[in-house]
Structure 1
Amino acid sequence: MVFIGYREGHRVTEAPRLEVRSITRAFGGRPVVNDVSFTVEPGQVTCLLGPSGCGKSTTLRIIAGVDRPDTGVILMDGKPIAGPDVMVPPESRGTGLMFQDFALFPHLSVADNVAFGLKGTRTEKRLRVRDLLGRVGLARYLDSFPHELSGGEQQRVALARALAPNPRIMLMDEPFSGLDNRLRDGIRDETLELLKEEGTAVVLVTHEPEEAMRMGDEILLMRQGRIVQAGAPYNIYNAPMDREAAAFFSDINVIRGRVEGALTRTAFGQFLAPGHPDGADVEIVIRPQHLSIDFDRDGHGPAPTEEHGTWARARVVRARFVGNESIVEFELDDGTPLKASVPGVFLPKTDRVLWVALRRDRCFVFPAPRKAAE
Structure 2
Amino acid sequence: MSDTTPRLEIRSIVRRFGGRAVVDDVSLSVMPGQVTCLLGPSGCGKSTTLRIIAGVDMQDSGEIYIDGKLVCDTVFRIPPEQRSVGLMFQDFALFPHLTVAGNVAFGLTGPRDQKRARVEEMLARVDMLRFIDDFPHNLSGGEQQRVALARALAPRPGIMLMDEPFSGLDNRLRDDIRDQTLSVLKEEGAAVLLVTHEPEEAMRMADEIALMRGGKIVQDGAPYNIYNAPVDKAAAAFFSDINVIQGRVQGLLTDTPFGQFMTPAIFETTEVDIIIRPQHVKIEFDRNGNPPAPTPENGVPARATVERARFMGGESLVEFRMDYDGSVMKATVPGVFLPKPDTPMWLMIRRDRCFVFPHQA
State which of 308, 330, 348 in structure 1 corresponds to 2:298. Answer: 308
* Correspondence 1:233-244 to 2 at 5 A: 233-244=223-234
- 1:272 is displaced (CA, Å) by 1.3
- Tell me the CA shift for residue 55 of structure 1: 0.6
1:301, distance to aligned residue in structure 2 (A): 1.5
Tell me the residue number matched to 1:345.
Answer: 336
Task: Tell me, in whole angstroms, the C-alpha distance in 2 between the residues paired with 1:28 and 1:275.
Answer: 42
CA distance in 1, matches of 2:326, 2:72: 55
Q: Secondary structure at the match of 1:212?
A: helix
The aligned residue for residue 356 of structure 1 is: 347
Instruction: Structure 2 unaligned segments of length 5 or more: list them.
Output: none
Q: How does 1:82-231 map to 2 (within 5 A)?
A: 82-231=72-221
Task: Choose which of 342, 358, 361 in structure 2 pairs with 1:367.
Answer: 358
Q: 1:344-368: CA deviations, max 9, x gaps?
A: 1000000110111101111001110
In structure 1, C-alpha distance between the alignment counterparts of 2:163 and 2:290, rounded to whole Å: 53
Kindly tell me the number of residue pairs found equivalent between the two proteins.
360
Deviation at 1:278, TM superposition (A): 2.8
Report the aligned-residue RMSD. Answer: 1.1
Contact 1:276/1:367 (CA < 8 Å) preserved in 2?
Answer: no
- Residue number in structure 1 paired with 2:258: 268
Partner SS for 2:107: coil
Once the two structures are TM-superposed, the CA of residue 336 in structure 1 deviates from its matched residue by: 1.4
The residue correspondences of 1:249-260 to structure 2 (distance < 5 A) are: 249-260=239-250
SS in 2 for 1:47: strand
Hey, which bits of structure 1, 4+ residues long, moved more than 3 A?
none
2:299 is paired with a residue of what secondary structure? coil
Partner SS state of residue 330, structure 1:
strand
Contact 1:259 1:276 in 2 (8 A): no
Query: Unaligned stretches of 5+ in structure 1?
Result: 4-11
Give the match for residue 335 of structure 1: 326
State how far apart, in whole Å, the 1-side matches of 2:296 and 2:101 are: 63
2:274 alignment partner in structure 1: 284
Q: How much does 1:186 deviate?
A: 0.9
1:19 aligned to 2:4?
no
Give me the whole-angstrom Cα distance separating, in 2, the residues matched to 1:301 and 1:292. Answer: 13
Separation in 2 of the partners of 1:260 and 1:302? Answer: 27
SS in 1 for 2:266: coil
Q: 1:124 to 1:365 in 2, by over 3 A?
A: same
Give the % identical residues.
69
Q: TM-score, normalised by structure 2?
A: 0.98
Q: Counterpart amino acid of 1:31?
A: A
Whether the 8 Å contact between 2:267 and 2:358 is mirrored in structure 1 is no
Q: Give the TM-score of the pair, scaled to structure 1.
A: 0.95
Per-residue deviation, 1:299: 1.0
